[in-house]
Structure 1
Amino acid sequence: MSQILLLKRGNYKNLFEKIKKIGYSPFLISKLDEIKKGEISIDCAILDASQNIKTFFNFLVKKEVPVIIIIKNNDLNTALQFLKRGAYDFVPEPISEEALLIALERALERKRLIEERKRTDRLIDEYMKNVDKKVEELAKDLKESEQRYKELIENSGDGFFVMDMKGIIVYANESFSKIFGYSKGKIIGKNMLLLIHPEDVSKIKKIFRRDYKIPPIFEIKCIKKDKREVFIQFNMNRIKKGGNCVKIQGIARDVTLLKKKSEELEKLNHELFLRQEKLVALTHELEKKNFELARANNFKDIFLDIMRHDLLNPVGIILGITRIAMEEDSVEKIKEELEIIYRNAEKLRELIESASTLAKIESCSQLTFKTLDIMKILRKVIKQFEPLLKEKNMALVLTGKKTCYIEANPIIEEVFSNLISNAIKYSPEGGKIIVGVEEGKGEEEYENEVIIYVKDEGIGVPDEYKKGIFERFKRIKKEGVKGSGLGLAIVKRLVELHNGRVWVEDNKPRGSIFYVELPKQWRKLKRLSSKINGKYKKADL
């Protein structure tokens, strides 16, 4: 198992346990003398840069032991200084097991390579003792190898070249010459910069800088002998002698056709993308038109249904009672019959007004909003119904804060007018109606909502009608449900235009509770919630 050296200083125990946990064998020293004799094999050392480690560090680096430095507060300057002095790697505090494991594995691999190099050096030394006997044979093999290499380059389809540090081409194979349209004899001795397009000359000049790291593969725009532009893919590396760069050799490949095809493909992809976007836009527009057509057909059917059912009934009653009144002699009976005519005429007026309101909001896709006090609106609506409440000897209680502001259109008043009107209409005389307002309790999901409810003691709504009560067409068969359905259809449409939701629940033991959920600030709601037993939940409408 690999031996990892630690200094018995600072928080060494935590590091000691981490090294053991990831599968290595740490050992501790406190003095340099403990390892100077060389009796302990050291595979790697971990030293804390914040401690006095100079003597230990210099000794270990000299012995070619990979040293990992621990730095604090991501002090990269300190890490860089140690790396320049011979440290192999560094890890920042707090030390993660993963980072420690990676650093150790790399350091131990470095140690293995060092040991391998030493073994190789020993073998080379042994071999070199008898090298004189094999020099002639090796020289012959080398000459043959060079000849094979030269033939390989000369016959290659890629362009091979060598240039000096001034850019003068000193060697080029036949393929390289053909790429630029020159004969082999003409291109040798030419400056490489003259073959490069002016736009890319600066890229090639960087190659001659000794501090510049040449990319493995790069593309340059070049100019052929006939002045045509071509794109050449280069692979270059430096030839060094005595530690100095003396020449640059490389491979060149003409990728003009490939680049042209790539650009054409990119252009086609862009055109395809634009067409797809246009198709999506047309699809959305078609869906919108289909929706508007379906809504128009639906609305036409609503008005036909109103004409057939809701308007004809009171008209028939008015005609019948009028005919009877014309034959009556008694003033009292005529008054009673006129009263019936008046009520049905009033009903007709209400139906026509409701149908007109529904027509307006059905054709509306968006409203303008402003800040309104919902409590003020409710008090205004309730005041309008005070005569009717007094007539039926009913009590109406408004609960909630003094003010509650939301972003809405003033037409929202119609919603509460319809709900309160229905509550009065279907509740018994002497009954009680509660109108309440509850704001979000601060929970992230509900803090932007306001819930307004109207609670009555009327006949209630059977479960099988709860979902369809707000849809005019789902109420054509009206067994068990009173009214034309226009009022609740108006309520639903107006609430939807405010990005809200409306639903109904039972008011046990008798009656109904109509809930309206509205956002305080205008936005698209992703869900519908209702409140049951003090908790909000998603509803199915």
Structure 2
Amino acid sequence: MSIPLSVLLVEDSPEDAEFIMREIRRGGYEPNFQRVENATHMSTALAEQVWDVVIADYNLPHFSAVHALTLLKETGFDLPFIIVSGNIGEDVAVAAMKAGADDYLMKNNLARLVPAIERELGEALNRSTHRRAEEALRESAERYRVLFQHAPEAIVLHDCDTERLSEANPEAERLFGLSASRLRLRSPWTLSPDLQPDGSISRDRAIEYIERALAGETPRFEWTHLRSDGTEIPCEVSLAAFQIGHRRVVQGAIRDITERKAAESRLAASREELAQRVDELQRVNLEIETFLYTVSHDLKAPLVTLHGMTELLMASGGKWMGVKERHYVERMRANVAHMQRLVEDLLDMARLGRTREKIETFDVVEAARAAIEQLSGVFSAKRAEVILPDRLGQTRYDRRRLIQVLANLLSNAVQYSHPDRAPRVEIKGKPEGDALVIQIRDNGIGIEERHFDRIFEIFEKVSPGQGEGTGVGLSIVKKIVELYGGRVWVQSEPGVGSAFYFTVPKA
């Protein structure tokens, strides 16, 4: 199959034109040609079409190969230009070659025409490829120059042969307080203190990083530089090596991290201060727990004595006590019992987290049944209805502590029941991620939203005159639940009832 070839033929003879085209066809090409005889026609042809080669007769009545060559150069097109003539002297041919013609042939000997065309097409392709490569290189160099000059960080180029900086951008001038011309006289390590903060010698360490870059690595490291006034600058440096001609160059991108280091110092100081405060709070909490434990323990013995004495008074004093005296003793006994419950609650709260817990896997419903059994007397007295499903979900917990949480919440539900209806308590459970959410809903007096957080604080009772609670129960619930990584919260509507929720880990 013939190869297409676009030929612009400067020739006044149709017969010679066909003779030349026939020779090209014999060489395996299918020429698409246009014959022109003057400068105007040639300019038009060059503007309207892309050509592979220009073949020109040396002498035409109103034009010549020399004029055609000049016109071609003026257009800027790099096309093979071959002169074919019937009569040309050697000196004229040499002059044409010097003027820029690629070859010349005699019309009576066109055997070299196709090889000449192929050779010159190859040369033109090489020139075009070389020009594109040079253009791409210039564009790349220009892009690098723009980036280099306008980079937000300092950039320097280290010439490995001279061991001096060869370039420095404006940000590097600002960072070091030196002009680019003065920086070009310096080695990288002369812009650093003799020793780095870790005690290493700056020159030795810098050479080590440069050698790593030359080996193909892109080291990134922290480095202390010096300004011209002797001020030390903490920096982050990244290196990359490349070739410029025969020169080995290492580019250093330098970022001033003074502000980052200051922020890290402030953060470290804040962490240290926070750690000290946490230690202090832990110490104070320990002192408070120890105090609660000691006081509660010391109160326990006299309360036992008071309780025994009130029982003796009630048992043996019935013959001589009147109604008024008996009422006083009953009040004393009730308050002693209340104080005993309070002391027990305080002791229990102080022990939380200080004793070894026994973790086991079981269904929460088992703990709920045990809590209901503990409170059976209270439920019977109040005629309370408790609704409990067959299963609530498996957990890994200290069974005794979970019973305590449920008993406190159930007791709370009955204590704060509505005066116009019998207490009704429903226990539910549902999975939520890695946890179980346990719900205890009642139909009691309810709680105003502004008290939702307050009720979990120690000694806080929203309705002091309601129930016999110590004001510690919900605080114990919160502490136990949080001790096992859970959370507790309440939703309530005054006059309708409350729903307490807490989470336990799912087994």
TM-score range, shorter chain: 0.3 to 0.5
Larger radius of gyration: 2
TM (norm. structure 1) is 0.41
